[in-house]
Amino acid sequence: MSSPSFAELGVSEPVVAALAARGAHHPFAVQTLVIGDAMAGSDVLAKSPTGSGKTLAFAVPIVERLDRNDRVPAALVLVPTRELAVQVTEEFAMLAPARGLRVASVYGGVGMRAQAKAAAAAHVIVATPGRLIDLAQQGAVALDQVRVLVLDEADRMLDMGFKPQVDRIVRRLPAERQTMFFSATLDGEVGVLARAYTRDAARFDVDTPSATVEQVDHRFVPVTDASKLDTLIDLLGDQDTALVFVRTKRGAARLADKLVRRGVSALAMHGDLTQAAREQALSRFEHGKVRMLVATDVAARGIDLDHITHVINFDPPEDNKAYVHRVGRTGRAGRTGTGVTLVTREQQADVSRIAAHLELREEFEREGMKTAPPRLVYSSRSRRGRRRF
């Protein structure tokens, strides 16, 4: 049975036309599940992985529910990073004119005056918590008219230590509001936060057949320290683009320089860059002027581009959660992709445990490497071992 169209979900003709103009003709699973309840004003809890199309799942209902004559700001979207703030704002900017609405983004690393002016006049604010708190405390932005709140990638906001700022922001909002909560997980502390912020919420789980992205071809390639750079360069075809992960800011800059010296168009993306430099690097990568973007985990949070053909772990991830976050940046929006992890002999045992945990044992052993047994963890009071991945 085919999924309903946006119009069949109740989306108005002007917004359907705006969606079609950006190439969105058929809703993804999370959009089909969420839009109806969200447009009806219900609180929403959505467990949805990165790249599932969740931005439109809340952007469409917000645009439909707001009116150009509403007191502003009427809707607030909180996100963990400035890159994600820019991308979510761009999604809204494609839809908002269809309803005569204005949208503004608020994030650190740039001047506050222009942001404050735009935010004060916007129907929708997309913001990182720290900068929004600064503007609110200065009286530059009032939040007492907000009637729709979205927490996007809430698990990452907790991971990055934003809960105190989010709590302070929520206390400034009207108690009577609609709250939508989107997260890759709704377990543990994230679940506690979700229940605290919502009331009688409709819950939706976007099914994923496996712990990793289904559309991605997962590869684990044995290398030596001396062969890693050559292997990295050899991995890409003429039309491919790659997001390359390294552990440190210094490592990102160093690897990008080495790639450029070898004739590969590459840029580094790390926390020491100014916001303008980060946006320029992301823009050049998005528009195909750079084939490799070398990034740390923190710098890459919020990168949401559909055209990335490869994610390459030049330095392996710390754990299975980091692996999923990294590799999930390819194979998005129904496309296929390739995730490659370069593995030295010293790293094989740790990486093999990540692969086994994610049910990628066969992919790991395909290149002749062996999967290590689970670690045995002993307590000081007992010599009995507990298996732990």
Q: Which domains does the chain have, with CATH numbers?
A: 7-205 (3.40.50.300), 216-365 (3.40.50.300)
* pLDDT score for 380: 37
Q: Is the pLDDT score of 347 beyond 90?
A: yes
Q: Is the pLDDT score of 75 beyond 90?
A: yes
Reported confidence tier of residue 187, pLDDT bands at 50, 70, 90: confident
Query: SS3 for the chain, per residue?
Result: CCCCCCHHHCCCHHHHHHHHHCCCCCCCHHHHHHHHHHHCCCCEEEECCCCCCHHHHHHHHHHHHCCCCCCCCCEEEECCCHHHHHHHHHHHHHHHHHHCCCEEEECCCCCHHHHHHHHHCCCEEEECHHHHHHHHHCCCCCCCCCCEEEECCHHHHHHCCCHHHHHHHHHHCCCCCEEEEEECCCCHHHHHHHHHHCCCCEEEECCCCCCCCCCEEEEEEECCCCCHHHHHHHCCCCCCCEEEECCCHHHHHHHHHHHHHCCCCEEEECCCCCHHHHHHHHHHHHCCCCCEEEECHHHHCCCCCCCCCEEEECCCCCCHHHHHHHHCCCCCCCCCEEEEEEECHHHHHHHHHHHHHCCCHHHHHCCCCCCCCCEEEEECCEEEEEEEC
* pLDDT score for 82: 85
pLDDT tens for 273-328 read 777 787 788 888 888 899 999 998 876 665 667 678 899 999 999 887 788 888 88
More confident residue, 2 or 69: 69
Q: Is the pLDDT score of 387 beyond 50?
A: no
* pLDDT score for 177: 96
